């Protein structure tokens, strides 16, 4: 199992994802600002992973400041900096705020071990969430499955087994998954660079394809299931995910291939009735015009570069969450899963 | 209009496509082996373009050898080398053989102008063929069309306006085409590198998208027609073309977008009853693992890299040829077009 985040007794080791797949190297962090730099330079990426790294960063900084006369003031400044390392990563601000509320006002000697404890707890909660999702998802797979996936939804984006890739891993562990096809996932190539590398580490047979090849694999009956992650899921099951996901869902329907979405409950946004309410983020055209430093299109050409697309719930066979599996019509199943949570007394994450 | 092949009075200028879109530079050729090198290094690409370049190469070499005592022997050696510059490009061997049959045995003074004449004829035939196709195709477009295309089927691959891109150009000239979306076309990015550049030169509005984005454009009703080229067309209309074409055809059907194939009659292979008889060429995995010199996947990862896929005729709205438009069921229309040719007394090209 890949460990993108390794908490040590006196430090935090972060897998530097910028160097993958060419090189496996860890950043050794002992201060908060080292963790901030790792987050800001995308050495560590994926919302859950960033939240966890930030929590350990706060612990490291408190540890380093222990004994300082102005401990509280300096730690609060560091806390703010960590919290705001990436403004769009809601998990990070959420994790830091939640932790800070519980330690505010403590003395250093009490606070340092408590911060470590809470970071460890966040880490293991995420791990357990992914394990539950993997288990629910694997139960949907048939023996000998050849699974196609898109983008990176594995250990590198979370901790533990991952979301969609967690289902693949658990399916492989149970002897159900025979082979994985990884869409390279243009423009940022998370599938080719990260998913392929992760699966190789776990010795799960993986074949990389360009995004344009998935259809011909399906036509040749070489894909038994498609499993992807999600960025946001509406109350009716409409799902925003990495650009290219909707294309796969349409192709899956045409070729009668089951199409699964795997995502934690925190991805569900019951305030959104349907996919038309999800704003589509347009990203930098240079992500398409260049691959790393190579120019692959005229430098001034117009580019359409949405970060994600929306797949209607009607094209999704099932949505796999850490609390169970939802099926069409999703409005009913999703409301039920959200209610289960409320009755369990757990706050919405 | 881009001119990838510029015949001069005493030389041949070839646009060096390896440098596109970063740099526009021409190779100045005065000998046969310079043309061979341009063909072998992919400075000039596209089957029709290679055939024409080879024909001019033969003329250049005859011109340079004029006056030599062993003119015939040396030219025949050069002819063989040009003919075999790229063994898979049938157009090249076909063009050289056809020309050679007509000049064999001539003295240098008679042969040199005749070779030039025949190269010019090949050039203008191809140009006229593309013009006819463009005209038949443009008649299918409605005003305000936003057209999506795949790979490069333009002037760079042929001469004149191109095949699918010729239809786009003519549609734009007639005021029918408002906007073009160019699939980048992984792995070799002919759409981003070449099609986008060609359209920019002609000041036709073009937007580059990754192959995975076409579906979301169709879902947003931003595509009115898809036009692609073809590598081989079977008697029943099943069409082999650049990988990703089949994916577009399925997506077009789902979104009710017309899907057109534009290709000269020489692309039709009546010996093949259907697409199952077309062999699928697997190309070098490094085309997917690397983009130019950048490594984008683990260097030893398995890759599925078919050069093309097969689109069943049933998903094609119409096939546009230089002799007219064929429609479903294709067997009948294609047989009719082939017969038209035979009756016209023209040999099959």
Neighbours of A94 (CB within 10 A): 16
Confidence label for A349 from pLDDT (cuts 50, 70 and 90): very low
Among residues A224, A231, A309, A322, which one is catalytic?
A: A231
For the ranges A87-96, A126-135, A144-153, the lowest mean pLDDT is seen at: A87-96
Q: What is the pLDDT of residue A345?
A: 39
Q: Output the domain CATH number for residue A230.
A: 3.40.50.10470
- Decide if pLDDT at B97 tops 90: yes
Q: Do B289 and A192 touch (CB under 8 A)?
A: yes
* pLDDT tens-digit map of A263-304: 999 889 899 999 999 887 888 999 999 998 889 999 999 999
Q: Which of B73, B97, B130 is the last residue of a domain?
A: B130
In a domain, A104, yes or no: yes
Q: What is the pLDDT of residue A157?
A: 87
One domain for residues B299 and B184: yes
Q: Do A213 and B250 touch (CB under 8 A)?
A: no
ipTM for this prediction = 0.89
Average of per-residue pLDDT values in chain A: 93
One domain for residues B272 and B250: yes
Contacts of B156 (CB under 8 A, 6+ apart): B2, B4, B15, B17, B20, B45, B46, B49, B162, B194, B198
Confidence label for B346 from pLDDT (cuts 50, 70 and 90): very low
One domain for residues A107 and A225: no
Q: What 8-state DSSP symbol labels residue B138?
A: H
In a domain, A292, yes or no: yes
For the residues A7-19, what does the mean pLDDT come to?
95
* pLDDT tens-digit map of B22-71: 889 999 999 999 999 999 888 998 878 899 999 999 999 999 999 999 99
Q: What is the pLDDT of residue A343?
A: 53
Closest-approach residue (CA) in chain B for A217: B304
Q: Output the domain CATH number for residue A38.
A: 1.20.120.420
Q: What is the pLDDT of residue A280?
A: 79
How many domains does chain B divide into?
A: 2
Q: Which of B105, B130, B155 is the last residue of a domain?
A: B130
For the residues A235-261, what does the mean pLDDT come to?
97
Q: Measured between alpha carbons, how far is A321 from A133 in angstroms, rounded to an integer?
A: 5
B 55-84 residues inside an 8 A Cβ radius of A: none
For the residues B76-82, what does the mean pLDDT come to?
97
One domain for residues A118 and A192: no
Crossing angle for the helix pair A47-65 and A90-103, to the nearest 10 degrees = 40
* pLDDT tens-digit map of B118-129: 999 999 999 999
**Which tokens hold the place of A45?**
């990426």
Closest-approach residue (CA) in chain A for B188: A296
Phi/psi at B181 (5° precision): -105, 125
Instruction: Using a CB–CB cutoff of 8 Å, tell me whether A247 touches chain B.
Output: yes
- Decide if pLDDT at A346 tops 60: no
Q: Measured between alpha carbons, how far is A209 from B249 in angstroms, rounded to an integer?
A: 19
One domain for residues A229 and A337: yes
Instruction: Using a CB–CB cutoff of 8 Å, tell me whether B302 touches chain A.
Output: yes
One domain for residues A110 and A148: no
- Decide if pLDDT at B275 tops 90: yes
Which residues on neighbouring strands pair with residue A114, listed in sequence order? none
Q: Measured between alpha carbons, how far is B220 from A243 in angstroms, rounded to an integer?
A: 14
Q: Do B200 and A295 touch (CB under 8 A)?
A: no
Q: Which of A89, A110, A130 is the last residue of a domain?
A: A130
Q: Which domain holds residue A43?
A: 5-130
Q: What Rg do the C-alpha atoms of chain B give, in angstroms? A: 21
One domain for residues A102 and A237: no
- Decide if pLDDT at B347 tops 50: no
Percent of residues, chain B, with pLDDT higher than 70: 96
Q: Determine contact, residues B200/B225, Cβ cutoff 8 Å.
A: no
Closest-approach residue (CA) in chain B for A21: B298
Verify whether residue A231 is a known catalytic residue.
yes
Confidence label for A22 from pLDDT (cuts 50, 70 and 90): confident
Q: What is the pLDDT of residue A296?
A: 94
Of B243, B294, B296, the CB nearest to A213: B243
Of B209, B251, B291, the CB nearest to A250: B251
One domain for residues A91 and A160: no
Q: Do A251 and B247 touch (CB under 8 A)?
A: yes
Which residues on neighbouring strands pair with residue A27, listed in sequence order? A14
Confidence label for A175 from pLDDT (cuts 50, 70 and 90): very high
In a domain, B349, yes or no: no
One domain for residues A180 and A34: no
Short-list B211, B222, B203, B221, CA closest to B182: B211
* pLDDT tens-digit map of B150-172: 999 999 988 889 999 999 999 99
In a domain, A276, yes or no: yes
Q: What is the pLDDT of residue B266?
A: 83
Rounded to 5°, angle at Cα B237 from B232 and B238: 65
One domain for residues A339 and A214: yes
Short-list B13, B56, B61, CA closest to B33: B61
One domain for residues A297 and A162: yes
In a domain, A135, yes or no: no
In a domain, A348, yes or no: no
One domain for residues A87 and A156: no
Q: What is the pLDDT of residue B88?
A: 66
Instruction: Using a CB–CB cutoff of 8 Å, tell me whether A146 touches chain B.
Output: no
């Amino acid at each position: 199992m890949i460990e993108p985040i390794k908490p040590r007794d006196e430090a935090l080791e972060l897998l530097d994802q910028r160097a993958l797949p060419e090189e496996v190297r860890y950043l050794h962090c002992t201060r908060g600002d080292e963790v901030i730099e790792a987050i800001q330079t995308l050495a560590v990426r994926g919302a859950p992973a960033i939240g966890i790294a930030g929590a350990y960063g706060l612990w490291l900084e408190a540890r380093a400041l222990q004994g300082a006369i102005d401990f509280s003031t300096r730690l609060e400044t560091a806390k703010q900096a960590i919290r705001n390392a990436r403004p769009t990563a809601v998990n990070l601000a959420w994790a830091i705020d939640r932790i800070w509320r519980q330690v505010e006002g403590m003395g250093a000697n009490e606070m340092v071990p408590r911060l470590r404890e809470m970071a460890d707890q966040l880490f293991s909660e995420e791990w357990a969430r992914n394990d539950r999702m993997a288990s629910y998802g694997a139960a949907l797979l048939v023996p000998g499955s050849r699974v196609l996936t898109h983008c990176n939804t594995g250990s590198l984006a979370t901790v533990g087994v991952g979301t969609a890739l967690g289902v693949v891993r658990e399916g492989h562990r149970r002897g159900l998954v025979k082979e994985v096809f990884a869409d390279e996932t243009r423009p940022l190539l998370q599938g080719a660079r990260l998913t392929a590398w992760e699966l190789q580490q776990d010795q799960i047979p993986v074949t990389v394809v360009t995004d344009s090849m998935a259809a011909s694999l399906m036509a040749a009956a070489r894909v038994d299931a498609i499993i992807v992650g999600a960025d946001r899921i509406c109350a009716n099951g409409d799902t925003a995910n990495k650009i290219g996901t909707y294309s796969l869902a349409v192709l899956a329907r045409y070729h009668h291939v089951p199409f699964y979405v795997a995502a934690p409950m925190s991805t569900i946004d019951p305030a959104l009735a349907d996919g038309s309410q999800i704003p589509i983020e347009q990203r930098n055209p240079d992500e398409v015009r260049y691959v790393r430093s190579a120019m692959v299109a005229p430098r001034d050409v117009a580019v359409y570069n949405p970060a994600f697309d929306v797949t209607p719930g009607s094209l999704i066979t099932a949505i796999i969450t850490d609390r169970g599996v939802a099926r069409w019509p999703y409005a009913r199943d999703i409301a039920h899963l959200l209610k289960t949570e409320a009755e369990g007394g757990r706050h919405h994450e």
